């Protein structure tokens, strides 16, 4: 407390000496009101400085003490970490969506439609290849043109054994190459299967 008072007194003495020298240097008395105004503002700031430090002393309640109790550095760090994680998650989600749209457009250009698509991306933020596809799995089938249904004629129902052929999945290297070149992903990370009947 004594140190604060001695600092204030010392600053006021220095200010008075500075103002006296300034008045002696100035050629006319017309500047005196402006000098007095500036000196008054500086004097108020010098006197308010110690009040601010007094409010931070223990035992004296003030707005600054309440804010320091509510917002700690640890709380700020936790909030910052949460926001960063949310930001990375949103970025990864948007990137995944863009990749899916790109793959879908590539296959549509080759007259295929996607039945199933699975992407495994690098999710470690600290990894150099963050967001890069680790595995791409696509199941596609040829695009079918909408058929015009002819008029239905009489149907006769007979019971006899019937077996429906199951569709077969075949790996399509040509589509894997197209996706690999377009996305810049190694071909061994891509699997494209097509249904054939």
Q: What is the mean pLDDT of residues 155-176?
A: 74
β strands within the chain, DSSP E: 112-121, 133-142, 168-171, 190-196
DSSP SS3 for 130: coil
Given the structure tokens 């008045």, which residue do they identify?
A: 23
Q: What is the pTM of this model?
A: 0.51
User: What dihedral do alpha carbons 98, 99, 104, 109 form, nearest 10°?
Assistant: 100
Buried b (16+ CB within 10 A) or exposed e, 33-57: eeeeeebeeeeeeeeeebeeeeeee
pLDDT in tens, 166-190: 667 788 888 889 888 888 888 888 8
The pLDDT of residue 24 is above 80: no
Q: What is the pLDDT of residue 8?
A: 76
pLDDT in tens, 111-134: 888 888 888 888 887 878 888 888
How much of the chain, in percent, has pLDDT values that exceed 70?
Answer: 80
Q: How many other β-carbons are positioned within 10 Å of the β-carbon of residue 2?
A: 6
Token reading at 7: 């600092």
């Amino acid at each position: 407390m004594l140190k604060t008072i001695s600092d204030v007194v010392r600053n006021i003495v220095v200010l008075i000496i500075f103002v006296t020298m300034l008045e002696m240097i100035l050629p006319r008395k017309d500047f005196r009101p402006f000098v007095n105004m500036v000196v008054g503002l500086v004097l108020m700031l010098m006197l308010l400085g110690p009040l601010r430090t007094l409010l931070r002393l223990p035992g004296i309640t003030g707005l600054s003490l309440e804010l320091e109790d509510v917002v700690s550095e640890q709380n700020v760090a936790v909030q910052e970490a949460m926001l960063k994680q949310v930001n990375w998650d949103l970025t990864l989600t948007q990137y995944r969506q863009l990749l899916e749209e790109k793959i879908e457009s590539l296959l549509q250009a080759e007259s295929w439609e996607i039945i199933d698509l699975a992407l495994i991306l690098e999710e470690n933020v600290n990894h150099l290849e963050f967001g890069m596809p680790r595995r791409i799995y696509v199941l596609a089938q040829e695009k079918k043109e909408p058929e015009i249904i002819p008029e239905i004629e009489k149907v006769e129902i007979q019971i006899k054994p019937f077996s429906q052929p199951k569709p077969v999945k075949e790996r399509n290297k040509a589509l894997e190459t197209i996706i690999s070149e377009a996305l810049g992903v190694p071909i061994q990370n891509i699997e494209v299967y097509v249904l054939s009947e």
